[in-house]
Structure 1
C-alpha cells in the first residue's frame, strides 16, 4: 500500500478523505507541469508547434485506458462545457429522463433548455425506478451520473447495458466524473452512447481538463454547433466536418491535457485492477462499520454494491471536529461526505472511526 501512497505529499499532513470533492495532484503531474511551462518559457512558438503531438498522446491514452477509439475521444475543458455543447446538438424538443437530485451541473444543463423532462428517484430501488420511468414514457435521452455525488450510490452498469438493448433508440449519456479512475471500464462494451468525465477527482489530473467518449453512430445523432480553427487541427480531426472537432473549437491547453496524460500514465503504472481492488476493499470495510454505527441512510445500507463515497450523519460541528484532527471531508446534503481512494489505508479508516466515536455520533 505504501507504494500507492508515494508521490502524494498531501498525505503526509492530512487524512485526506475528500477525493469526491477534489483529487490530489501527484508529484508526477506536478513535475510535468513545471517542465511544460519551462519549455514554453524558453521555446515559445517553437515549443507550441508540438501541440498536436501532445494532444494526440492524451487522446490515445484516454482511448486506451477506457477502451474507445481515439477518433471518438474529445478533449474538453470541463464537464459543463461538454454537456452543454452536446445538448445544443440535439433536437430542440426531445423527451429527457433525469435522476432527481443528481449532480447540479448535469441536471441544470438539461432543465435550462426547452426539453420535456421526467425524473426517477435515487434510492435503494434506483434501477427499478428507472425501468418504470422508461415504461411510462420512453425518453429520447437519459442523462445520469454513474456514481451519485451526494451519497455514493452507484448505478448497476449491467442494468444499463440491458436497458440500452431494450431501448436502442434512447441516447444514454453518463456523467462519469465520480466514477472514472475507480475501476476498470470498457466503453465499447457498455450500454452508454456518450460518457463525459471531468478528471480533477478520481483521475488526479488537476483542473481544466475533461474528456468525452462517443459511440460511432453518435455522428449521425448529434449535430454540435461549435466550430473554430482548432476543430480541424490534429491527427484525428484534420478534415472538414469532423465530429469530435466540433467539441474542440479553440486552442487546446497542452498544460492541462498533458497533465491528464501524465495522470493516466500513473494509473497504468499502478494498475487499474490493483486500484479497483484497494478501493473496493476500503469501501466494503467502511460501509460495514458505518452501518453498524447507524451513520448511513437506508437507501445506501440496502444496496448490494456501493462506491467509495459515503454521506454520514452529522452536521457542521462534526465536520469541524474532523477538520481539527486534520481529517479532510466535505459538507454535502446535510451530512459529512467522506470518500476513499486507492492511496487511503485501513489505518486512516480506523482513525476516522475513532474520531467519530470520540465525538459521540
Structure 2
C-alpha cells in the first residue's frame, strides 16, 4: 500500500497544474513510464522472440482484469477501446430488437445504437433517472438496455442497486453498460451487478493509457450474443481456433502488448494503492466539492436533487471562464452547457479550494 504523498509525486502533471480532468484523460505516471520503456527495450532486443509469449501474457491481462472487477477471465474480451467493443457487440445482435437508451448519453453509446437500425426508445436523464427508465421499460418493453453508468457531461451516476433489481424483474432484458467514466472510481463486483455486458476504455480512471479496453460478459452471454451464422461457419472451417472462437470477433489481428501491459500494470498499481482507499478518497472529495459548489449555486437542479453522485461535476460557465481557469493552470473541459471538472484519488481538497478561489476571484 503506497502512501498518498508518494503517489502524488508519481504524477508530474500535478506539480505544475491543478488537474481536474480525469474524465477527459487519466494521467501517465513515473513507474508506468518505466514499465513502458522496459517493455519496448525488451522488444528492441528480442524482436519476434519477444512476441512468442504474447498469448500467455494476454491471458494474464485478462486474469488481472477479472481479479479487479470480479469476472471470470474466460468471459473477458480485450479491445482497443470501448467504442470498438460496443459496435462489435451490436453488430452481432438482431437489429429488429427494441433498444432502450438514455436521451443525452455519450455519443459513442447512442450513435452506435441508432445507426444500426434498431427500434429505439429513450428515457430522460434527470433527477428521476431510475423512475424514467422503469417507466420506459414498462411502456416500450425493450429487449436491450444500453447506457453509461456515469453520464459524461454532468456526472449523474445510475443507482447500481436499481440495475440489479431491474435484472431481477426483467431477466430477459439484455443490459449493456459503458463503464469508462466509472470503472476505477469504486469497488465493483461485475458478477453480481445484474449487468450482462460491461465495456470500458482504460485511459481514464484506470490510468492505463490509450489503446486498451475490455468487455466483461456474464456467463453464457458471449455465446448468446454471437450470431448463429458465425458459430456455424466457425464449426465448418479448418482454421486455427484462435481465428474462429467467440472472442476472435473482437480480438481479430494482433493485440498490442505495450497497451494491454500498461493497463495490467495500472490495475496492479491501483490494487497496491488499495481500492478501498481510492474509493474513500474519491467519495470524500466528491462530497466536499458537491457541498462547496452547491453553496455557490453552480450545479444543475437534476444533480442537486439526487442522493448519490459521482466525482464528475458540470458547473455553470462559458468559454471565457474556461480560458480564465486554464490561465490559472486549472485543467478542466468544456462539456454541454458548462465546464466539467472531474476528481480522481490523486486530487486533494486543497486543489478544490484553488478552483473555488479562482471562481470567487473571477466573479
Say which of 11, 32, 38 aligns to 2:41. 38
- Kindly indicate whether the alpha-carbon contact (under 8 Å) linking 1:279 and 1:342 is maintained by their aligned counterparts in 2: yes
Match of 1:70 in 2: 73
Shift of residue 247, structure 1, vs aligned partner:
1.4
- Among candidates 110, 115, 118, match of residue 115 of structure 1: 118
Contact 1:127 1:156 in 2 (8 A): yes
Match of 1:298 in 2: 301
Q: 1:274 to 1:347 in 2, by over 3 A?
A: same
**TM-score, normalising length from structure 1?**
0.95
Is 1:131 matched up with 2:131? no
Other-structure match for 2:267:
264
Query: Which residues of structure 1 form unaligned runs of 5+?
Result: 232-236
Give the aligned partner of residue 237 of structure 2.
none
Equivalent residues of 2:155, 2:313 under 8 A apart: yes
Cα distance change of structure 1 residues 212 and 282 upon mapping to structure 2, 3 Å threshold = same
Kindly report which structure 2 residues correspond to 1:279-358, keeping only aligned pairs within 5 A, or say none: 279-358=282-361
CA-to-partner distance for each residue in 1:219-255, whole Å, 9 max, x for gaps? 342115998xxx9xxxxx9678532232111111000
Paired residues in the alignment total 352
Q: Which residue of 2 aligns with 1:101?
A: 104
Partner of 1:234: none
2-side partners of 1:56 and 1:15: how far apart? 37
2:200 is paired with a residue of what secondary structure?
A: strand
1:170 aligns with 2:168: no
Structure 2, unmatched stretches of 5+, are 235-239
**Any conservation in 1 of the 2:95–2:119 contact (CA below 8 Å)?**
no
Distance 1:310 1:45 in 2: 47
Structure 1 segment 135-150 matched on structure 2, within 5 A: 135-150=138-153
SS of structure 1 residue aligned to 2:112 = helix
For 1:4, the equivalent position in structure 2 comes to: 7
CA contact (8 A) 1:208 1:256 kept: yes
Superposed CA offset, 1:68-122 (max 9, x none): 0000010000111100100011112110000001000010100111100000000
Q: For the residues of structure 1 that align with 2:42 and 2:78, how far apart are their CA atoms?
A: 22
SS in 1 for 2:190: coil
* Distance apart, 1:30 and its partner CA: 1.3
Query: Quick one: which of 13, 17, 30 aligns to 1:14?
Result: 17
Instruction: Quote the Cα distance in structure 1 between the aligned partners of 2:356 and 2:227.
Output: 49
Cross-structure match for 2:209: 206
Match of 1:89 among 85, 88, 92: 92
1:188 aligns with 2:186: no
